[in-house]
Amino acid sequence: MTTTKYIFVTGGVTSSLGKGIIAASLAKLLQAQGYRVTIQKLDPYINVDPGTLNPYEHGECYVTEDGAETDLDLGHYERFLNVPTSQANNVTTGRIYQSVIQKERRGEFLGKTVQVVPHITNEIKRRVQLLGKSGDYDIVITEIGGTVGDIESLPYVEAVRQLRWDLGKDNAIVIHLTLVPFLSAAGELKTKPTQHSVKTLMESGVQADILVCRTEHNLPKDLRRKLALFCNVREEAVIQSIDASTIYDVPNLMLKEGLDKVVLEQLNLESSTPDITKWNSFVHRHKNPKTDVTIGLIGKYVELQDSYKSILEAFIHAGAENEVKVKIESIHSEYLNEDNIKLKLGHLDGVLVAPGFGERGIEGKITAVKFVRENNIPFLGICLGMQMAVIEFARNVLGLEDANSTEMEAGSKNPVIDLMEEQKTITDKGGTMRLGAWACDLKKGSIVHDIYKSDSIKERHRHRYEFNGTYKEQMETAGMIATGLNPDTGLVEIVEITEHPWFVGVQYHPEYKSTVANPHPLFVAFVKAALNHKKNHKGVSMAQN
Ligand code: GLN
């Protein structure tokens, strides 16, 4: 195939309809028919990337192999497709304007007035086609963040209109995701909001080709017919997306509705029956666990589930792999202390101390690490979680009572976690952390060496502070071993406590690399350790394992 085909996914009526999941599910079905597919997200906000956003604002910040700080939808794309995304897969209005303004400063517009149309729209079009032009993909799905009708979405919709014209209608189609609400007082599903949002899109010159309608109830045939008639689409292009108990059901729901078929037909591409056997065996294991484990997720953004999206999904993959339901107990680190720690953590089969930034809630995290270390509860510390494990060990085992991270206490006398040398001169906050995939050598005989079954791995990072190497020998003598080292810099990437049955702290973020096809080995092993803990401490029958 020579030309790359483009699918645009827009949203109408309301936000949070799950465009990312629909895009990822469609991509899965197309991939399972042999097409090379990628998904891109265009975000209409002014931040250059979500790296500077508080998790309460925008959920987790997802990190790609090449070190882009991106929208959490890219996590869904990777988890569904098992194909890495990159910097090019997430573009914000901030980044678009930044490139255009930099070009203007370089004088590249040759004295012309720089305007939204054509300069901003041209930059959007260039970014959309960048992935297509790489030659790596047959189909590029571009999800446009926000809702049509928003002021900030307008340049994107205009770019879509132009691209459809430039590329031809069977090379670029538009899927519009809308809501069909059920009014319980009237006992009816209502099509009017969809009609209006399709009309809003048309005011910008874009006719939707396919409607995906989010609904709590099945859409009857006459309602589909009505939507087709009023919205100028074919009847089979009205797709229902009914609420699902898990996002992993959505590809099958879309298959049943024939979304992949309509899409391929409209793009003039051949369709076949997608082979999703492996996917379905995962869904089956996910839905039919043989037993369960309870894992505490200790963080300070726990009120918002999206803050730890990739961690929660990695537990779903690891749970399915172990045929176990992983029950997550979210625990707010700010309210943990010596007096309530046993009550809050005593019953858990495993504890994960989450990534994070800043001082709030860290003493609770340290108290939690102490409790799990002393009580032999399986522990996984991720990024800040690993740093807290190092501080706890220094304070309570080495007796360095004032040990701290210089992130929390700039003048700490025992800075066991410290800023990297090259970070000390950095003043900009955006995009300046240690980001993306870095190599790590694993120590033979360690837990991690056994888990990864490899001498060297690559994992994704997002942090400024590091284990302070001057304390390494002291720590190791006392039993906290550095079992993963960066081969070039010697930076400590993993720590373990030999005396403990399963205590692992990692400076990187394993959760970003867990996918349905490749559940992350560290999460799989952690869940298994939790299961063993449960068996040993609660006498649970392990016949099924
Ligand atoms: N705040 C810590 C650092 O910057 C940890 C970051 C994280 O957990 N992602 O090093």
The CATH number for 435's domain is 3.40.50.880
Residue 167 lies in a domain: yes
Residue 373 lies in a domain: yes
Residue 543 lies in a domain: no
Residue 545 lies in a domain: no
The number of the ligand 1 atom at minimal distance from the alpha carbon of 466 is: 10
Same-domain status, 354 and 267 = no
What residue type is assigned to position 462 of the chain? R
The answer to whether 510 touches 420, Cβ cutoff 8 Å, is no
DSSP3 helix / strand / coil % (the chain, rounded to 5): 40, 20, 35
Torsion angle, CA of 334/484/306/247, rounded to 10 degrees?
A: -140
pLDDT of residue 7: 98
Same-domain status, 270 and 306 = no
Query: Ligand 1: which of 462, 467, 512 to mutate, judged by most atoms within 8 Å of the beta carbon?
Result: 462
Domain final residue, candidates 255, 280, 305: 280
Domain final residue, candidates 280, 305, 326: 280
Spell out the per-residue pLDDT of the chain, length 545, in tens: 468 999 999 999 888 899 999 999 999 999 999 999 999 999 999 999 888 888 888 889 999 999 999 999 999 999 999 999 999 999 999 999 999 999 999 999 999 999 999 999 999 999 999 999 999 999 999 999 889 999 999 999 999 999 999 999 999 999 999 999 999 999 999 999 999 999 999 999 999 999 999 999 999 999 999 999 999 999 999 999 999 999 999 999 999 999 999 999 999 999 999 999 999 999 999 999 999 999 999 999 888 889 999 999 999 999 999 999 999 999 999 999 999 999 999 999 999 999 999 888 899 999 999 999 999 999 999 999 999 999 999 999 999 999 999 999 999 999 999 998 878 888 888 888 889 999 999 999 999 999 999 999 999 999 999 999 999 999 999 999 999 999 999 999 999 999 999 999 999 999 999 999 999 999 999 999 999 999 998 765 444 33
β-pairing verdict for 5-11 and 69-70: unpaired
User: Binding residue per annotation — 191?
Assistant: yes
Residue 41 lies in a domain: yes
Residue 372 lies in a domain: yes
Same-domain status, 48 and 105 = yes
* Host domain of residue 147: 5-280
Residue 185 lies in a domain: yes
Active-site residue 449, yes or no? no
Instruction: Using only the alpha carbons of the chain, give its radius of gyration.
Output: 25
CA nearest to 309, candidates 292, 293, 328, 323:
328
Same-domain status, 475 and 453 = yes
Same-domain status, 91 and 235 = yes
Using DSSP, state whether 143 is helix, strand or coil.
strand
The number of the ligand 1 atom at minimal distance from the alpha carbon of 417 is: 10
Same-domain status, 430 and 526 = yes
Separation of 442 CA from ligand 1 center, angstroms? 22
How far apart, in whole angstroms, are the C-alpha atoms of residue 420 and residue 405? 12
Non-local (6+) Cβ contacts of 16 within 8 A are: none
Q: Read off the CATH number of the domain in which 230 is found.
A: 3.40.50.300
Same-domain status, 315 and 427 = yes
Domain count, the chain: 2
Domain final residue, candidates 260, 280, 300: 280
Residue 544 lies in a domain: no
The verdict on the CB of residue 434 being under 6 Å from ligand 1 is no
The verdict on the CB of residue 163 being under 6 Å from ligand 1 is no
Same-domain status, 228 and 267 = yes
Separation of 387 CA from ligand 1 center, angstroms? 8
pLDDT of residue 494: 98
Same-domain status, 276 and 294 = no
pLDDT of residue 2: 60
How far apart, in whole angstroms, are the C-alpha atoms of residue 525 and residue 511? 13
Same-domain status, 90 and 186 = yes
pLDDT of residue 54: 84
Same-domain status, 267 and 297 = no
User: Binding residue per annotation — 56?
Assistant: yes
How far apart, in whole angstroms, are the C-alpha atoms of residue 483 and residue 504? 9
CA nearest to 462, candidates 492, 491, 436:
436
Catalytic pick among 61, 213, 231, 383: 383
User: Binding residue per annotation — 345?
Assistant: no
The verdict on the CB of residue 383 being under 6 Å from ligand 1 is yes
Catalytic pick among 493, 511, 520, 533: 511
Q: Is the dihedral of CA 227, 231, 234, 237 positive or negative?
A: negative
Same-domain status, 170 and 303 = no
